[in-house]
Structures are given as structure tokens and as C-alpha cells.
């Protein structure tokens, strides 16, 4: 078993501080119903693919679940889930002692959830937000290919 990455509390007692403006900005960041999720959901629905959203009965609460095909779909934000982490990690300047363990724990949790879903017989698809914004049809094609593969 892999050791869980410990993430410190983000507070003054732990040595972390932020401005009121930054705090206000961070509070507005959504964890559900992001623009990328909504765009993908609308396209799936228009294509006749029905899903459950933010399905709490499965590990990791997938953003969309195609129960009929046992497919779990996640739409991950680049910052929060460590896209290009080796390069991005070096660029974090403020509160490194918090953000680096935080993002690395998110990445670790994503892997744990992927494994748990696979053990339940689900296929996991993860898209980066920018991937959906830049190549929405490519993302839909990936889902459709997987569904067609499961049908045949």
C-alpha cells in the first residue's frame, strides 16, 4: 500500500497566508458543473448518450457515469490534478509547502479512484478541461469508440 501524502491545513498557524482578493478568487472556483463538464454533458445528451452526473455511489464521484456501459468519466482541471506536473511544480511560487502536497495528493487520489473503479468493472476516462475546450469532438469520439467496443 502506498503511503498517503499528508497535506497541511491552509491557515496562519501552519504558516500559510493569502490576500483577501486571492481568497475571494479561489472561493469562486467550482468543483462541479465547470464549463468543460457542461459542454461535454450537452454534447453527450445531444448524441443520445444518457448518464448520471456526480454519481456519489462510485469511488471518486465521477463527473459523468454511463451506467449501461460501465464507463466513468472525469473532467480534471489542469492545475488541481497536476497536468504537466514536472514542469508546473517548479513554477509554483507562493505557499509551495501547501500546494505541492495538495496537488500530489489529488493525483494520488485520482489513481486510487481509478483502481477502485476498475475493480468494480468500470472503464475510466479522464479528460483535461483544455482537452475538451480544444477538441470536443475528439473527446466525444473517444467515448463513442469505447461504447461501441463494449457493445460488440
- The reply to whether 79 falls in a domain is yes
Helix axes 136-151, 35-46, angle to 10 degrees: 50
pLDDT of residue 31: 62
Given a contact cutoff of 8 angstroms between Cβ atoms, the answer to whether 63 and 54 are in contact is yes
Q: Each residue of 82-131: pLDDT tens digit? A: 998 988 888 888 788 888 888 999 999 999 999 999 999 999 999 999 99
- The reply to whether 94 falls in a domain is yes
- The reply to whether 5 falls in a domain is no
- The reply to whether 106 falls in a domain is yes
pLDDT of residue 95: 80
CATH of the domain at 96: 3.40.960.10
Examine the pLDDT at 64 and tell me if it is beyond 60: yes
Range of the structural domain that residue 52 is part of: 31-151
User: DSSP 3-state assignment of 97?
Assistant: helix
CA angle 115, 45, 61 (to 5 degrees): 30
What is the number of domains present in the chain?
Answer: 1
pLDDT of residue 54: 94
User: How far apart are alpha carbons 18 and 137 in whole angstroms?
Assistant: 39
- The reply to whether 14 falls in a domain is no
User: DSSP 3-state assignment of 123?
Assistant: strand
For range 41-70, the mean pLDDT: 96
Q: Each residue of 6-52: pLDDT tens digit? A: 776 766 665 556 666 555 555 556 666 789 999 999 999 999 999 99
DSSP notation for 135-152: -HHHHHHHHHHHHHHHH-
- The reply to whether 2 falls in a domain is no
| Higher-confidence position of 26 and 133 | 133
Within 10 Å of residue 71's Cβ, how many Cβ atoms? 21
Task: Give me 72's grid cell.
Answer: 466513468
Amino acid at each position: 500500500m502506498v503511503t498517503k501524502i499528508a497535506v497541511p491545513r491552509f491557515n496562519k498557524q501552519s504558516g500559510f497566508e493569502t490576500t483577501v482578493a486571492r481568497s475571494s478568487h479561489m472561493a469562486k472556483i467550482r468543483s462541479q458543473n465547470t464549463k468543460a463538464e457542461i459542454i461535454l454533458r450537452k454534447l453527450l445528451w445531444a448524441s443520445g448518450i444518457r448518464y448520471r452526473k456526480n454519481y456519489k455511489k462510485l469511488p471518486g464521484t465521477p463527473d459523468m457515469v454511463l451506467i449501461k456501459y460501465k464507463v466513468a468519466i472525469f473532467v480534471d482541471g489542469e492545475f488541481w490534478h497536476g497536468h504537466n506536473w514536472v514542469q508546473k511544480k517548479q513554477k509554483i511560487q507562493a505557499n509551495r509547502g501547501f500546494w505541492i502536497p495538495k496537488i500530489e495528493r489529488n493525483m494520488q487520489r485520482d489513481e486510487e479512484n481509478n483502481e477502485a473503479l476498475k475493480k468494480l468493472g468500470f472503464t475510466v476516462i479522464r479528460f483535461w478541461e483544455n482537452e475538451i475546450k480544444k477538441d470536443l469532438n475528439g473527446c466525444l469520439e473517444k467515448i463513442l469508440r469505447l461504447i461501441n467496443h463494449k457493445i460488440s
